[in-house]
Amino acid sequence: MGLELYLDLLSQPSRAVYIFAKKNSIPFQLRTVDLLKGQHRTKEFFQVNSQQKVPVLKDGDFLLTESTAILIYLSCKYQVADHWYPSDLQVRSRVHEYLGWHADNIRGTFGVSLWTQVLAPLIGAQVPEEKVDRNKTNMTLALQRLEEVFLRDRAFLAGQQVTLADLLALEELMQPVALGYNVFEGRPQLAAWRERVEAFLGAELWQEARGPISSILEQKAKHLLPVPPPEACQSMLLRISRIP
């Protein structure tokens, strides 16, 4: 069997992996893991990833987790265009510099809005208001550093061409936007960067990938979202308690 990708497009890292594979015409079998239905908590998925998270790559007997590792693996194995994961050591190091910062400052911070507006209410929980306010402050600080430290006067985060850094960053930043909080408002430099990345990806592809998150509020209003099973609710409550 060929390459398999275990994804849920509600997940920002899953969307990044999906978009990358599609954009680069990498053949893969999509294995959808519906997080809201608790499919990541099943015994079957535990055999794929004992951490019970997506995305996961399965290439024959080889299993790989974490979106950054997956994207680098795909870049190298399928010899995609050099700009994604540049062979130039200094430019590649800029990509890694951003990815290291991303893990601590972007990943998790920009996903909180989904928990506050959708996931917590879905299981009858609530995120304290002080945490919501603190998260907005943290997003503002991260956006400032994104502009001042990484983007600066460049077209993209690591230089003058799109890299893995731009793809991962944009999908995280689009999460609160889909939920009504436009993080690009009042930030023309960052908004122009977004337009450049989306133009490169193509409207059809990124609209396809963001379909589930774009319709999540409508589904919630119409009571169309599945209530997660008890075994998933426990881990969700733990995740909510860990919001800073």
Q: What is the CA radius of gyration of the chain?
A: 18
pLDDT of 1 above 80: no
Domain(s) of CATH 3.40.30.10: residues in the chain: 3-77
Dist CA 172 CA 94 (whole Å): 19
Q: Both tokens of residue 122?
A: 């879905």
- The CATH class for the domain spanning 89-241 reads mainly alpha
Closest to 15 (Cα-Cα) out of 180, 239, 197, 157: 197
Reported as a pLDDT band with limits 50, 70 and 90, residue 231 is confident
- The CATH-assigned architecture of domain 3-77 is 3-Layer(aba) Sandwich (3.40)
pTM (global) more than 0.85:
yes
Domain(s) of CATH 1.20.1050.10: residues in the chain: 89-241
List pLDDT tens digits, range 39-49: 999 999 999 99
